[in-house]
Amino acid sequence: MDKIKQAKAILKEAGYCTGSLWHIKDVKQYHECTDDEAYDILEQVLNSDWITEQIFQEIDDTTKI
């Protein structure tokens, strides 16, 4: 098992959802930037209040079905 699959398996076993992970290449395919800049962009976006609110809203909506 490669390192990434092993890491995902460990995180999943600990209760983390690893089915949808973003990578710096997702940023770099549309924007010219360094790896560090791409990582910072992902951190900022994924930790934004709006994204967090949307995730919790979807969790609420999904659990009401």
CA angle centred on 17, ends 11 and 18, rounded to 5°: 70
Can you tell me the distance from the alpha carbon of 32 to that of 65, in angstroms, rounded to the nearest whole number?
Answer: 42
pLDDT, average across residues 19-31: 96
Can you tell me the distance from the alpha carbon of 37 to that of 27, in angstroms, rounded to the nearest whole number?
Answer: 9
| Other Cβ atoms closer than 10 A to 3 | 7
Reported as a pLDDT band with limits 50, 70 and 90, residue 2 is very high
Do the beta carbons of residue 24 and residue 38 sit within 8 Å?
A: yes
Q: Is the pLDDT of residue 31 over 90?
A: yes
Closest CA to 21 of 36, 7, 2: 7
Query: Is 0.85 topped by the overall pTM?
Result: no
Q: Note the pLDDT of residue 30.
A: 96
